[in-house]
Amino acid sequence: MLAVGFFLSAIAAPYVIFQILAGFACGLMYVRLFVIYHDFQHRAILQNSLAARLIMRAIGIYLLAPETIWNRSHEHHHNNNSKLTIAGIGSYPTISKNRYLSLDRNEQRLYLISRHPLTVLFAYVTLFIYWLNLKSFVQSPSKHLDSLFALLFHAGVGTAFVYYFGLTTFLVGWILPFFLSFAIGSYLFYCQHNFAGAKFRENNDWCYVNAAVASTSYMKMNPLMQWITGNIGYHHVHHINSRIPFYRLKEAKNSIPELDFAPTTSWHPLEVMRCFRVKLWDSENGKMITMSQLNKCREAKTSVA
């Protein structure tokens, strides 16, 4: 209801400044709504309710995360978290420095673009419109008709907004909430698996529990942000057992002492920068490295040769 209220305020508020504030608040509510949808798809909540299933399908369309593509990609993510891969199905691609050096220039460029801060910031277009929906529908039209419907819905409603309410209301009442919520959600998804202390493995060395505890972060937030993000900061707990509902993640963490030792991230600007700077897995030293560190390694090998 809060999301609906702020959405209507972003459209009907008498002054632009109030519309903008309502648009920001609406975007934050979309983040929480997405977490609730995410938990439903994990079968953690409301599984015996037909009404909930119908509502959640509608929410998936509205939030550009239709059931068919979301379930396929997100289940893959949970079963392959922290594995080295360039495919990036359900996650951001992560490869070793040796694999990166074996790629041609175009492949290297695409890899870095996929992990670039602007790709995360503009997730409304890059990840949700293009990757989750347009790309999925083009590749498998029969499997992802709901992706086409989501795209047509957003295009139709966006056009109606401009026609009936004008460009300003379209930007603050429609674009701003989605832009903000998808940027926040995409960064959360990025930083919870891409940080300086993350550990990545090849398939034969991979272990589900280790991936959850050593390669998934506990993101520290204030109580308000924990509420807005549906406790998704306890992401390592969620990866241990995705059937734990969002409102019991903190309780689960507090009941298992071993979960207190998970690596941490935060919203601090320096921490955000550190997460974005790491690009490659250095298998020789067992850590994530930046592009500048890669270049130093290459220079050192060249000087020795």
Query: Is residue 210 within a helix (H) or strand (E), and if so which, with residue range?
Result: helix 208-214
In the chain, which stretches have pLDDT less than 70? 87-90, 203, 299-305
| Segments making up each domain of the chain, as ranges | 2-304
Selection from 238, 243, 240 nearest residue 43 by Cα: 243
Give me the pLDDT at residue 274, please: 93
pLDDT in the model for residue 197: 84
Alpha carbon separation from 129 to 61, 81, 123, 160, 179 (Å, rounded): 11, 23, 8, 18, 11
Task: Give the per-residue pLDDT at 289.
Answer: 92
- 3-state SS class at 45: coil
Give the pLDDT confidence score for residue 200 in this predicted structure.
Answer: 84
b/e code 279-293 from CB counts within 10 Å (16+ = b): bbbbeeeebbbeeeb
Among the listed residues 73, 78, 304, 28, the one whose alpha carbon sits nearest the alpha carbon of residue 182: 28
- Output the pLDDT for position 296: 81
Whether the Cβ atoms of residue 151 and residue 69 lie closer than 8 Å to each other: no
Helices 16-41 and 176-191, interaxial angle, to 10°? 40
User: Would you state the pLDDT for residue 88?
Assistant: 66
| pLDDT value at residue 303 | 57
User: What secondary structure letter does DSSP report for 290?
Assistant: E
Q: Dihedrals φ, ψ of 202, to 5°?
A: -75, 165
The CA-based diameter of the chain, rounded to the nearest angstrom, is 70
Please give the pLDDT value at position 304.
Answer: 53
State if pTM tops 0.85: yes
At 71 the pLDDT is: 81
pLDDT of residue 203: 67
